[in-house]
């Protein structure tokens, strides 16, 4: 592996355990000012010390994150759709590789929509992005977006999406946790991280999902709403870190969360 590519990956996946806690704050690219992310800077800044990387758009990066921070950036480079538009899967590449390099990012991220109307377009977007990224030693994270097709959240569908992303050359794949998750990890030859999805009912549900994913071989989380839509985002991300980096159980993580939330 080329040094630049390896260095970027090792800034995201911590060399001591090969795992990562990525904080996803890119939701505005199609959802606009989603709850608790109306003022991105206010939500993001207190969480930076706890995040192994930030996943976000260039607009939020340039305008809402101080360049003094040494946090690795995973830049969302797909979009061109919106929650009120006709079809979420109709995405294009929205950032040039030149701008990604200018922003000094550690990876670029793009969504693929397997089985959706614009499947072919999003998969060829991924392939083109990987060709371009390869020239710069830039890792590509493929997001197996499900959008309105969330009913397809099972190992057969997500396993298909993850494998296709890896076959096209993505270095990291982000997907959703589901039953039989170990099958997805086993059949995907690159690191898999999980998204959190919409806010779950309880903190324990979030910790259990993160624990199960890691136990099945996921290399980390790329989580958003279940962290920053919580009343206690620092306690949430700290507890998730204990699962990802210290092998804590969901119960132990809940203990850490409870202790921190009352501070
Ligand atoms: C949107 C994304 C988000 O980053 C992803 O969904 C993670 O955030 P959350 O944990 O809130 O689901 O890629 O397409």
Give the pLDDT of residue 147: 64
H/E element, 112: strand 107-112
The structure tokens listed for 52 are 């192994």
Give the pLDDT of residue 1: 84
Q: Looking at ligand 1, which atom is closest to the CA of residue 176?
A: 12
Give the pLDDT of residue 146: 72
Residue 7 neighbours by CB under 8 Å, 6+ apart: 137
Each residue's pLDDT tens digit, 86-121: 999 999 999 999 999 999 999 999 999 999 999 999
What's the gap in Å between 88 CA and the centre of ligand 1?
A: 14
What's the gap in Å between 79 CA and the centre of ligand 1?
A: 13
Catalytic pick from 10, 174, 186, 201? 174
What is the rounded CA–CA span in Å between residue 148 and residue 167?
25
For a mutational test of ligand 1's pocket, the pick from 35, 205, 224, 228, i.e. the residue with the most ligand atoms closer than 8 A to its C-beta, is 224
Q: Looking at ligand 1, which atom is closest to the CA of residue 27?
A: 1
What is the rounded CA–CA span in Å between residue 204 and residue 37?
23
Give the pLDDT of residue 3: 97
Give the pLDDT of residue 153: 83
Active site residue 174: yes
- Would you say 19 and 220 are in contact if contact means Cβ atoms under 8 Å apart? yes
Residue of the CA atom closest to atom 13 of ligand 1: 143
What's the gap in Å between 27 CA and the centre of ligand 1?
A: 6
In this prediction, the residues of the chain whose per-residue pLDDT falls under 70 are 147-151
Question: What is the CB < 6 Å shell around ligand 1?
Answer: 24, 26-27, 55, 111, 143, 145, 195-197, 222-226
Residue of the CA atom closest to atom 12 of ligand 1: 197
What is the rounded CA–CA span in Å between residue 97 and residue 75?
10
Q: Name the residue among 142, 124, 136 with its Cα closest to residue 192.
A: 142
What's the gap in Å between 133 CA and the centre of ligand 1?
A: 22
Q: Looking at ligand 1, which atom is closest to the CA of residue 111?
A: 14
What is the rounded CA–CA span in Å between residue 256 and residue 60?
30
- Kindly report the number of other CB atoms within 10 A of residue 2's CB atom: 10
CATH assignment of 3-226? 3.20.20.70
The residues with which 23 forms a beta bridge, in sequence order, are 54, 223
Q: Looking at ligand 1, which atom is closest to the CA of residue 197?
A: 12
């Amino acid at each position: 592996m080329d040094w630049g590519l390896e260095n970027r990956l090792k800034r995201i996946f911590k060399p001591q355990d090969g795992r990562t806690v990525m904080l996803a704050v890119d939701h505005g690219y199609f959802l606009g000012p989603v709850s608790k992310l109306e003022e991105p800077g206010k939500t993001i800044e207190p969480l930076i010390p706890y995040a192994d990387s930030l996943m976000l758009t260039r607009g939020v990066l340039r305008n809402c994150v101080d360049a003094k921070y040494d946090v690795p950036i995973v830049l969302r480079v797909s979009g061109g759709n919106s929650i009120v538009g006709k079809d979420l899967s109709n995405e294009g590449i929205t950032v040039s590789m030149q701008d990604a390099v200018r922003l000094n990012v550690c990876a670029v991220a793009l969504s693929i929509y397997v089985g959706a109307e614009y499947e072919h377009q999003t998969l060829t977007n991924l392939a083109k992005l990987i060709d371009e990224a390869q020239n710069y030693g830039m890792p590509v994270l493929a997001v197996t977006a499900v959008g309105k097709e969330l009913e397809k959240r099972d190992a057969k569908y997500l396993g298909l999406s993850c494998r296709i992303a890896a076959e096209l050359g993505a270095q990291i794949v982000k997907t959703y946790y589901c039953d039989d998750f170990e099958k997805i990890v086993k059949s995907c030859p690159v690191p898999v991280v999980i998204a959190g999805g919409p806010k779950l009912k309880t903190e324990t549900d979030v910790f259990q999902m993160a624990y199960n994913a890691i136990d099945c071989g996921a290399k980390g989380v790329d989580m958003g709403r279940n962290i920053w839509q919580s009343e206690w985002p620092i306690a949430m991300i700290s507890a998730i870190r204990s699962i990802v980096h210290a092998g804590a159980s969901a119960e132990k993580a809940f203990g850490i969360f409870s202790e921190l939330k009352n501070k």
